A and B are shown apart, each in its own frame.
Chain A
Amino acid sequence: MSHSAQDTVPAIQTIDVRRVYQARGGRSIGGAQAGKGVTALDGVSLTVQRGEIFGLLGRNGAGKTTLIKILTTLLAPSGGQAYIDGMDVTRDVIKVRQIIAMVSGGEQSGYGILTVREQLWMFAQFYGVPSKVAHARIDELLSAVGLGDQANQKVYALSTGMRQRMNLCRALVSDPEILFLDEPTVGLDVEASRAVREYVRKWMGENPRRTVLLTTHYMFEADELCDHVAVINHGQIVAEGTTDDLKRGLQEHARFQLEMAEWLPAFTEMLRERDGVVDAQTEQRNDRTQLRLALLREEFIVPTIASINEAGGRVLALRRIEPTLEEAFVRLVGDEAESQREGEEAQR
């Protein structure tokens, strides 16, 4: 296959992938009764292009990790096809493994008795990286994630955040083309999470062929990192697009917030009767009035402001109200996501 032809092949593609966990011998798997199965993935079709950071969002048990396990050759799909760089994950297992790496949140891999450098060298050996090259990469990676001073420290002595940064180095020491990040910042403090995110972005910027599939509960993380996202719920993709697509797709009306001076209560009723205005609400804040407008379309804002001016009102500030990715997510997956959102707020 020529290089240009290779570039047109998606980094990751899944076609109608299904996975059912069977309960056996009276044991329960994921709440399934014996003899019945739990459908973790129900016809997932996704395409991730080269050079993308693709976010897979979903609440606990939505099927994110199951999909990653299938793509990383650790789990057999019950149906459908999955490809990495055009290679079938169930047939071309060795070739797929040569170009992928994975980091999971809360990962405790490796051996505490080794130093950070030894641990990374060990994993480099598993990918056939010559020792000289491995040590050069290790120095570079550790320095990039701020662990240069910990190179000779034992792994068991690292903090959670340091350990996760080391895990990221572990995944990158083999110079993979496709990186799977499964909730990589879960349980990390703000500083450590930011360090991981910053390095992922930097790593992606170094080579256009690199691709990341990120699963996360943290919507701000997806918003900050991802070019495209998909929302998975009960094993099905319920929405896909850019983060802006998702946010705007859920917004029925264009919403604005205006800071007003010289406001009269009659203005509110006047606005509500105008064409294109769906709703107008006011709220008194100190000596100013805050006006919230819902318009049929964005373009209606200019004539609406003109009409306020004509009536004698004065606009001090105007702001478009954008829905957050979190709001879009909650709308997509329903109320069940509320409790997860609370957890996320606690993390922030």
Chain B
Amino acid sequence: MTALTPSTAAPARPAQRGRNMRAGLRLGIMTMVGRAYPRLVAANREPDWIFYEVALPLLQICAFALVYKALHAPQQYIGLVILGGGMMAFWINVLWSMAAQLHWERQSGNLELYLMAPASMLWILAGMAIGGMLATAVRATAVLILGSLIFGVTYNVVSYPLVILAFLFSLVALYGLGSMLASLYLLYNREVWAIQEVIQEPVALLTGSYVPVAALGPYVGAFAALIPLTLGLDAVRQLVFPHLLPTLLPAGLEIAILAVLVVVFCGGAAWSLNFIERRAKIQGKLSLKWQ
């Protein structure tokens, strides 16, 4: 039997490299669209989300809103709760449908098929993120509109571009964090469920979903700022309810930090996915069925 020598292709020329890059980008985008598709169609095919992801969060919002009402807090505090409730939908989505997703995909056998496909797994994660963001945006918008209508909250937007920037940066950083956790979770099996349960509720408190995060104090606030939701929420609240709430940092600075978090978490996701994939291939953790 003759041993084969590893392929020793000459380095690609610039024109060839350009074509390869375009082909790779095209494949990546197709992969992303393909993976986003189930999340988008699922939003239409499972109407029970109206109950679980709109009606139930609204009940929680109502509980906090009624407390603020009983304390005769300004109407904007109820708006604070409604915004927090809307953003929490994204956190729940990131936690259960991003961070834990590769774990579920491994259980169903999808993970090995994703890895066997020629596009980078990052495109799969991007598809999961975009599909999740769009589907969750529908739920969050429904919560926001219904909550605002029920409690008669009005918004005084200082700057629409900044609101959009703060919102988008916090979402991208949040889904970047989810992607990073997703690859880390590949090293765990049954522990994933427990980890998810453990971090879900504390994060709701730390990020100030139903209270101004500044109320937690500067040290807890600084720690909580590592979760993109915290600064995103605080910035958006400042920009829609100006001069009223205690805030953690000025909105402009929070947006700048969010931009850094985008780079950190998205870069971290790419690095950790690459690292964990290599490690999991050595340890045999990409599949449940061996031998």
Contacts and interface: CB of A to CB of B under 8 A. Distances in A.
Nearest to B30: A125
A81 B1 CA distance: 13
Contact of B118 (A64, A88, A128): A128
Contact of B7 (A22, A88, A109): A88
B291 A113 contact: no
Contact of B114 (A15, A104, A126, A128): A126
Nearest to A102: B116
Could you tell me the dominant secondary structure of chain B's interface residues?
helix
Given A111-B38, A113-B42, A40 B116 contact: no
B149 interface: no
A97 B118 contact: yes
A127 B118 contact: yes
A94 interface: yes
B267 to A, nearest CB: 21
B291 A73 contact: no
Contacts of B37: 114, 118, 121-122, 125
Could you tell me the dominant secondary structure of chain A's interface residues?
mixed
Interface residues of B, number: 41
B291 A109 contact: no
A65 B34 contact: no
19 contacts: A22-B283, A29-B284, A61-B291, A64-B291, A65-B289, A72-B112, A73-B115, A74-B112, A97-B116, A102-B116, A107-B109, A110-B110, A114-B37, A126-B35, A126-B114, A126-B117, A126-B118, A127-B117, A128-B26
A65 B290 contact: yes
Interface in A22-42: 22, 24, 29-30, 40
A76 B34 contact: no
B191 interface: no
A66 B116 CA distance: 15
A104 B31 contact: no
Contact of B116 (A9, A15, A74): A74
Contacts of A24: 283
A15 B3 contact: yes
A347 interface: no
A3 interface: no
Nearest to A98: B118
B280 to A, nearest CB: 9
A73 B35 CA distance: 21
Given A108-B109, A126-B31, A74 B3 contact: no
Interface of B: 1, 3-4, 6-7, 23, 26-27, 30-31, 33-35, 37-38, 41-42, 45-46, 108-110, 112-119, 124, 278, 281-284, 286-287, 289-291
Given A109-B110, A118-B41, A125 B4 contact: no
A264 interface: no
Interface of A: 9, 13, 15, 21-22, 24, 29-30, 40, 45, 47, 60-66, 69, 72-76, 81, 83, 86-88, 91-92, 94-95, 97-98, 100-102, 104, 107-111, 113-114, 118, 121-128, 170
Contacts of A9: 4
A88 B6 contact: yes
Contact of B33 (A72, A87, A97, A125): A125
Given A66-B291, A109-B110, A128-B118, A75 B34 contact: no
B34 to A, nearest CB: 3
Which 3 pairs show the lowest CB-CB distances between chains A and B? A125-B34, A126-B117, A128-B27
A123 B291 contact: no
A246 B28 CA distance: 46
B281 A75 contact: yes
B113 A21 contact: no
B34 A86 contact: no
A76 B282 CA distance: 5
Given A98-B118, A113-B45, A126-B114, A40 B7 contact: no
Nearest to B6: A88
Contacts of A74: 112, 115-116, 281, 286-287
A20 to B, nearest CB: 10
Nearest to A235: B291
